[in-house]
Amino acid sequence: MLLNRIIHLRTWTVLPKTISVIFSRQGAHSLSSFRQAAQMPEKKLQGLVFPFSELESHLSSRVSKTNFQLFQPSFEDIERAEALFSPSKKHKIDYFTSAVRMDHAPVITQPEVCFIGRSNVGKSSLIKALFSLVPEVEVRVSKTPGHTKKMNFFTVGKAFTLVDMPGYGHKAPKDFVEMVEAYLETRTNLKRTFLLIDGSVGLQEADRIAIGMCEEFGLPYVIVVTKIDKASRGELLRHIVEVEDTIKMHTLGCFPQPFLVSSTQFKGIYLLRCFIAHVTGNLHLKSDSQIKWATFQVPSRAFLFFQDSVPWALSGISLSGCAIKDDFR
Ligand SMILES: Nc1nc2c(ncn2[C@@H]2O[C@H](COP(=O)(O)OP(=O)(O)OP(=O)(O)O)[C@@H](O)[C@H]2O)c(=O)[nH]1
Ligand SMILES: [Mg+2]
């Protein structure tokens, strides 16, 4: 199968030192909450919430800037989405269970989102940042590739579940294919797959194979460019253009807007929270939020998602390949 090929790829030359970190309450990020961040000067806040806005003026006209602004919720919507990521007595956010095989995966009906990507791309760090309002939830990150060995399920109240996956490529677990491919192919409550690409190294062969797999399975998926703090501006722009070109030329199921994030600087995290709230059917955007029209073909499995009452239309994608309107309620 496709991912078998990824596992055997050896594109990493430098192996970082083994350091495992368990994030605890002490590790809470000072920008965990959008409310806190909203105290910042407008321009800084804009760059934090919409990281693309800082890069926009440097991109050539060849790149579709509209695609980066397809999902552009209002600050009010972002704040409403944040409530979903804030725990309360009635809305518990916690680690749920782990599985190494599909028959060990919990059977649940609530919407689910998962995070896949090469080992060390920053999947667990991103989830830790998304859950930073609940720092007691243990999400393990490590400098050593291949740290996450199991599919780790986290529940966000009754609203949705989120799955942290082992990485593919270097040091992927032996049972990776049976675990992750089977999950992606058969999980019926999976609403979105977030495919992470390291913004400091750009698209690698393993990423292209993973994109091919998402296409083959007809998954609705979204590309997230990670570690944007680590790359120079020039490098990052080059990598973003490459991602954009790939989405445009080689994908049908990928949401046209790549999301840019830095889990350490908290860039793009509030926007991603809002997108997750939206695609899991937990947030209806206010009318002043902007979701632009998108026109392209949708793979067959998308129809199943439409039937699940979380239509693709929610992310600006048309079922018929025709343009759709931006008010979906
Ligand atoms: N500079 C920077 N480093 C990051 C960022 N996100 C993650 N890292 C670092 O990248 C390394 C890998 O992070 P993880 O979150 O464990 O990566 P992963 O994709 O879960 O890795 P596996 O579980 O091995 O597949 C850690 O050293 C993180 O601190 C980021 O946004 N910026
Ligand atoms: Mg991990």
For residue 4, the model assigns a pLDDT of 56
Whole-prediction pTM: 0.84
Mean pLDDT of 293-312: 37
Looking at residue 118, which CATH number applies to its domain? 3.40.50.300
Residue 19 lies in a domain: no
Residue 36 lies in a domain: no
How many domains, in total, are found in the chain?
A: 1
How does pLDDT run across 183-196, given as a tens digit for each residue?
999 999 999 999 99
Mean pLDDT of 107-129: 96
CA–CA gap between residue 135 and residue 161 (Å, rounded): 17
Residue 162 lies in a domain: yes
Residue 34 lies in a domain: no
Q: Is the pLDDT of residue 316 over 70?
A: no
Q: Hunting for tokens 């991109």 — which residue is that?
A: 59
pLDDT tier, 68 (very low <50, low <70, confident <90, very high otherwise): confident
Q: What is the DSSP letter of 118?
A: B
Helices 123-130, 269-279: axis angle to 10 degrees equals 80
Mean pLDDT of 99-116: 95
Residue 20 lies in a domain: no
Q: Could you give the ipTM of this predicted complex?
A: 0.99
CA of 150 to the centre of ligand 2 (A): 9
Question: From the alpha carbon of 171, which atom of ligand 1 is closest?
Answer: 24
User: Range of 113's domain?
Assistant: 49-328
Mean pLDDT of 243-248: 94
Higher pLDDT residue, 208 or 16? 208
CA–CA gap between residue 54 and residue 34 (Å, rounded): 18
Asked if residue 125 lies in contact with residue 263, where contact means CB atoms within 8 angstroms, the answer is: yes
Question: From the alpha carbon of 140, which atom of ligand 1 is closest?
Answer: 16
Residue 221 lies in a domain: yes
**Best substitution site from 6, 120, 150 to test ligand 1's pocket, by max atoms within 8 Å of Cβ?**
120
Pocket of ligand 1 (CB under 6 A): 117, 119-125, 141-143, 145-148, 166-167, 226-227, 229-230, 262-264
Calculate the CA 141 to chain-centre distance: 16
Residue 13 lies in a domain: no
Q: Is the pLDDT of residue 26 over 60?
A: no
For residue 117, the model assigns a pLDDT of 96
Residue 7 lies in a domain: no
